[in-house]
Amino acid sequence: MVIENGQPGDADDVLAEIAAQVALAMASGWISAGVTWTYASTTSFTLSGDYSAVYTKGMKFKATMNGVVKMGYFGTATYSSGTGLTTVPIYGDALTNHTISANNYSTAANPAGFTHSFTYTPATNITLGSGTLTGVFSINAGICTAAVYFKKAADTTLPANGGYFTVPIVSRATPTTYWTNCALVGDSGTAELIMVAYLANNGVAVNFAANNTAGGLSATQPMTWATNDYLSFSISYPII
Protein backbone atom coordinates (compact mmCIF):
# COMPACT_ATOMS: atom_id res chain seq x y z
CA MET A 1 0.00 0.00 0.00
CA VAL A 2 1.22 3.51 -0.80
CA ILE A 3 0.86 5.87 2.21
CA GLU A 4 0.74 9.61 1.72
CA ASN A 5 0.32 11.71 4.82
CA GLY A 6 -1.16 8.75 6.62
CA GLN A 7 -3.74 8.12 3.90
CA PRO A 8 -3.90 5.60 1.02
CA GLY A 9 -2.32 7.13 -2.07
CA ASP A 10 -3.47 7.51 -5.68
CA ALA A 11 -2.38 3.97 -6.60
CA ASP A 12 -4.85 2.51 -4.14
CA ASP A 13 -7.61 4.78 -5.41
CA VAL A 14 -6.98 3.65 -8.98
CA LEU A 15 -6.93 -0.02 -8.01
CA ALA A 16 -10.13 0.40 -6.01
CA GLU A 17 -11.85 2.07 -8.99
CA ILE A 18 -10.70 -0.69 -11.33
CA ALA A 19 -11.96 -3.34 -8.91
CA ALA A 20 -15.32 -1.55 -8.63
CA GLN A 21 -15.68 -1.34 -12.42
CA VAL A 22 -14.80 -5.02 -12.85
CA ALA A 23 -17.30 -6.03 -10.16
CA LEU A 24 -20.02 -3.91 -11.78
CA ALA A 25 -19.32 -5.35 -15.23
CA MET A 26 -19.42 -8.91 -13.91
CA ALA A 27 -22.70 -8.29 -12.09
CA SER A 28 -24.54 -6.31 -14.76
CA GLY A 29 -22.85 -7.31 -18.01
CA TRP A 30 -22.17 -3.64 -18.81
CA ILE A 31 -18.74 -2.05 -19.25
CA SER A 32 -18.38 1.68 -18.71
CA ALA A 33 -17.03 3.27 -21.90
CA GLY A 34 -14.75 5.59 -19.94
CA VAL A 35 -14.55 7.97 -22.92
CA THR A 36 -16.80 10.70 -24.28
CA TRP A 37 -19.33 9.85 -26.96
CA THR A 38 -20.61 12.79 -29.02
CA TYR A 39 -23.91 12.88 -30.90
CA ALA A 40 -23.44 12.86 -34.69
CA SER A 41 -26.89 11.90 -35.97
CA THR A 42 -29.96 9.96 -34.91
CA THR A 43 -28.12 6.81 -35.99
CA SER A 44 -24.48 7.49 -35.02
CA PHE A 45 -22.06 8.99 -32.53
CA THR A 46 -18.35 9.82 -32.58
CA LEU A 47 -15.46 9.55 -30.14
CA SER A 48 -11.86 10.70 -30.22
CA GLY A 49 -9.24 8.11 -31.18
CA ASP A 50 -9.29 4.85 -33.10
CA TYR A 51 -11.89 2.54 -31.53
CA SER A 52 -12.82 0.74 -34.74
CA ALA A 53 -11.45 -2.56 -33.39
CA VAL A 54 -13.04 -2.06 -29.97
CA TYR A 55 -16.62 -1.16 -30.83
CA THR A 56 -17.58 -4.05 -33.08
CA LYS A 57 -20.73 -4.79 -35.07
CA GLY A 58 -23.51 -6.38 -33.02
CA MET A 59 -22.15 -5.21 -29.65
CA LYS A 60 -24.83 -3.81 -27.33
CA PHE A 61 -24.85 -0.28 -25.90
CA LYS A 62 -26.74 1.73 -23.31
CA ALA A 63 -26.46 5.48 -22.75
CA THR A 64 -28.46 8.42 -21.41
CA MET A 65 -29.38 11.48 -23.46
CA ASN A 66 -31.45 14.32 -21.97
CA GLY A 67 -32.54 12.01 -19.15
CA VAL A 68 -33.71 9.27 -21.51
CA VAL A 69 -31.96 5.89 -21.65
CA LYS A 70 -31.10 4.81 -25.21
CA MET A 71 -30.17 1.24 -26.15
CA GLY A 72 -29.30 -0.71 -29.25
CA TYR A 73 -26.49 -2.33 -31.19
CA PHE A 74 -23.30 -1.03 -32.79
CA GLY A 75 -22.79 -1.17 -36.53
CA THR A 76 -19.36 -1.22 -38.17
CA ALA A 77 -17.23 1.54 -36.63
CA THR A 78 -14.88 3.49 -38.92
CA TYR A 79 -11.87 5.64 -38.03
CA SER A 80 -10.78 8.76 -39.92
CA SER A 81 -7.11 9.71 -39.56
CA GLY A 82 -8.03 13.12 -40.94
CA THR A 83 -10.37 14.00 -38.09
CA GLY A 84 -8.97 11.62 -35.48
CA LEU A 85 -12.50 10.45 -34.79
CA THR A 86 -14.19 7.06 -34.81
CA THR A 87 -17.76 7.11 -36.10
CA VAL A 88 -20.01 4.41 -34.66
CA PRO A 89 -23.34 3.73 -36.42
CA ILE A 90 -26.08 2.31 -34.22
CA TYR A 91 -29.24 0.26 -34.70
CA GLY A 92 -32.03 0.59 -32.15
CA ASP A 93 -33.28 3.63 -30.28
CA ALA A 94 -32.89 6.91 -32.18
CA LEU A 95 -30.26 9.16 -30.66
CA THR A 96 -31.04 12.79 -29.83
CA ASN A 97 -28.85 15.90 -30.07
CA HIS A 98 -27.88 16.02 -26.40
CA THR A 99 -24.89 15.31 -24.21
CA ILE A 100 -24.32 11.56 -23.84
CA SER A 101 -23.78 10.29 -20.30
CA ALA A 102 -23.71 6.95 -18.47
CA ASN A 103 -22.44 5.37 -21.71
CA ASN A 104 -21.83 1.65 -21.56
CA TYR A 105 -21.28 -1.25 -23.96
CA SER A 106 -21.58 -5.01 -23.60
CA THR A 107 -20.68 -8.30 -25.23
CA ALA A 108 -22.80 -10.24 -22.72
CA ALA A 109 -25.76 -12.22 -23.99
CA ASN A 110 -28.20 -10.60 -21.57
CA PRO A 111 -26.84 -7.48 -19.85
CA ALA A 112 -29.05 -6.07 -17.11
CA GLY A 113 -32.07 -4.17 -18.38
CA PHE A 114 -31.28 -4.50 -22.08
CA THR A 115 -34.31 -4.23 -24.38
CA HIS A 116 -33.09 -6.73 -27.06
CA SER A 117 -35.90 -6.06 -29.58
CA PHE A 118 -36.22 -2.75 -31.43
CA THR A 119 -38.64 -1.40 -34.01
CA TYR A 120 -37.79 -0.37 -37.56
CA THR A 121 -39.73 0.60 -40.66
CA PRO A 122 -38.86 -1.54 -43.68
CA ALA A 123 -38.50 0.12 -47.07
CA THR A 124 -40.73 -1.48 -49.70
CA ASN A 125 -41.92 -1.10 -53.28
CA ILE A 126 -45.53 -1.37 -52.09
CA THR A 127 -47.42 1.93 -52.10
CA LEU A 128 -48.68 1.70 -48.54
CA GLY A 129 -51.28 4.45 -48.40
CA SER A 130 -53.09 4.00 -45.08
CA GLY A 131 -52.03 0.38 -44.81
CA THR A 132 -49.97 -1.03 -41.94
CA LEU A 133 -46.26 -1.86 -42.05
CA THR A 134 -44.23 -2.60 -38.92
CA GLY A 135 -40.94 -4.30 -38.22
CA VAL A 136 -38.95 -5.44 -35.20
CA PHE A 137 -35.46 -6.92 -34.94
CA SER A 138 -32.91 -8.26 -32.51
CA ILE A 139 -29.29 -9.47 -32.70
CA ASN A 140 -27.88 -12.49 -30.91
CA ALA A 141 -24.38 -13.92 -31.42
CA GLY A 142 -24.00 -12.18 -34.77
CA ILE A 143 -27.40 -13.33 -36.07
CA CYS A 144 -30.04 -10.71 -36.83
CA THR A 145 -33.69 -11.78 -36.67
CA ALA A 146 -36.22 -9.47 -38.27
CA ALA A 147 -40.01 -9.80 -38.21
CA VAL A 148 -42.34 -7.80 -40.46
CA TYR A 149 -46.12 -7.37 -40.56
CA PHE A 150 -47.93 -5.83 -43.54
CA LYS A 151 -51.68 -5.23 -43.87
CA LYS A 152 -53.36 -3.87 -46.99
CA ALA A 153 -55.76 -0.94 -46.86
CA ALA A 154 -58.20 0.18 -49.56
CA ASP A 155 -55.64 2.67 -50.90
CA THR A 156 -52.65 0.29 -50.77
CA THR A 157 -51.14 -0.71 -54.13
CA LEU A 158 -48.95 -3.78 -54.57
CA PRO A 159 -46.49 -3.97 -57.51
CA ALA A 160 -47.03 -6.05 -60.63
CA ASN A 161 -44.19 -8.31 -59.46
CA GLY A 162 -41.21 -8.52 -57.11
CA GLY A 163 -42.70 -7.12 -53.91
CA TYR A 164 -40.05 -6.79 -51.18
CA PHE A 165 -39.28 -5.47 -47.70
CA THR A 166 -35.83 -4.42 -46.54
CA VAL A 167 -34.09 -5.86 -43.50
CA PRO A 168 -32.79 -3.53 -40.77
CA ILE A 169 -29.11 -4.48 -41.20
CA VAL A 170 -27.37 -5.69 -44.36
CA SER A 171 -26.31 -9.33 -44.20
CA ARG A 172 -22.69 -10.46 -43.91
CA ALA A 173 -22.42 -11.95 -47.39
CA THR A 174 -24.17 -11.42 -50.72
CA PRO A 175 -26.82 -14.13 -50.79
CA THR A 176 -29.33 -15.06 -53.44
CA THR A 177 -31.51 -17.60 -51.64
CA TYR A 178 -29.30 -18.65 -48.75
CA TRP A 179 -31.51 -17.61 -45.81
CA THR A 180 -35.18 -18.47 -46.04
CA ASN A 181 -38.30 -18.86 -43.92
CA CYS A 182 -42.05 -19.16 -44.37
CA ALA A 183 -44.34 -16.16 -44.70
CA LEU A 184 -47.97 -16.35 -43.59
CA VAL A 185 -50.49 -14.62 -45.86
CA GLY A 186 -54.05 -13.98 -44.71
CA ASP A 187 -56.68 -13.80 -47.44
CA SER A 188 -59.25 -11.46 -45.84
CA GLY A 189 -59.71 -13.87 -42.97
CA THR A 190 -61.08 -16.64 -45.23
CA ALA A 191 -57.86 -18.54 -45.89
CA GLU A 192 -54.23 -18.67 -44.89
CA LEU A 193 -51.55 -19.19 -47.52
CA ILE A 194 -47.82 -19.80 -47.35
CA MET A 195 -45.07 -18.07 -49.29
CA VAL A 196 -41.30 -18.55 -49.03
CA ALA A 197 -39.45 -15.48 -47.79
CA TYR A 198 -35.78 -15.30 -48.83
CA LEU A 199 -33.06 -12.76 -48.35
CA ALA A 200 -31.95 -11.43 -51.73
CA ASN A 201 -30.93 -8.16 -53.42
CA ASN A 202 -27.35 -8.19 -52.08
CA GLY A 203 -28.46 -9.01 -48.56
CA VAL A 204 -30.64 -5.91 -48.27
CA ALA A 205 -34.21 -7.04 -48.93
CA VAL A 206 -36.55 -10.00 -48.46
CA ASN A 207 -38.31 -11.26 -51.58
CA PHE A 208 -40.96 -13.96 -51.87
CA ALA A 209 -41.85 -17.02 -53.92
CA ALA A 210 -45.18 -18.84 -54.17
CA ASN A 211 -47.09 -21.43 -56.15
CA ASN A 212 -44.20 -22.14 -58.54
CA THR A 213 -45.10 -18.85 -60.22
CA ALA A 214 -42.57 -16.29 -61.40
CA GLY A 215 -42.86 -12.75 -60.09
CA GLY A 216 -43.09 -13.38 -56.34
CA LEU A 217 -45.26 -11.12 -54.19
CA SER A 218 -47.56 -9.00 -56.35
CA ALA A 219 -51.07 -7.60 -56.66
CA THR A 220 -52.22 -11.05 -57.80
CA GLN A 221 -49.83 -13.36 -55.89
CA PRO A 222 -50.26 -15.50 -53.94
CA MET A 223 -53.87 -14.36 -54.48
CA THR A 224 -55.56 -11.18 -55.65
CA TRP A 225 -55.05 -8.84 -52.71
CA ALA A 226 -58.01 -7.09 -51.08
CA THR A 227 -58.49 -4.76 -48.13
CA ASN A 228 -57.39 -6.29 -44.79
CA ASP A 229 -55.31 -9.03 -46.42
CA TYR A 230 -52.00 -9.34 -44.59
CA LEU A 231 -48.53 -10.86 -44.71
CA SER A 232 -46.31 -11.72 -41.76
CA PHE A 233 -42.82 -13.23 -41.73
CA SER A 234 -39.55 -13.43 -39.84
CA ILE A 235 -36.08 -14.21 -41.10
CA SER A 236 -32.69 -14.78 -39.45
CA TYR A 237 -29.34 -14.16 -41.11
CA PRO A 238 -25.70 -13.46 -40.16
CA ILE A 239 -24.41 -9.89 -40.04
CA ILE A 240 -20.80 -10.59 -39.00
At the second CATH level, the architecture of 28-115 is Beta Barrel (2.40)
**How is domain 118-238 classified at the CATH fold level?**
Immunoglobulin-like (2.60.40)
Note the pTM of the prediction, 2 decimals: 0.85
Cβ count within 10 A of residue 161: 15
Spatial contact of 194 and 182, defined as CB atoms under 8 Å apart: yes
Spatial contact of 197 and 183, defined as CB atoms under 8 Å apart: yes
Would you kindly state where each structural domain of the chain is located, as residue ranges? Answer: 28-115, 118-238
* pLDDT tens for the 240 residues of the chain, in order: 444 454 555 655 544 455 455 555 556 899 999 999 999 999 999 999 999 999 999 999 999 999 999 999 999 999 999 999 999 999 999 999 999 999 999 999 999 999 999 999 999 999 999 999 999 999 999 999 999 999 999 999 999 999 999 999 999 876 555 789 999 999 987 899 999 999 976 789 999 998 767 779 999 999 999 999 999 999 999 998
How are beta strands 78-80 and 132-140 bridged, if at all?
unpaired
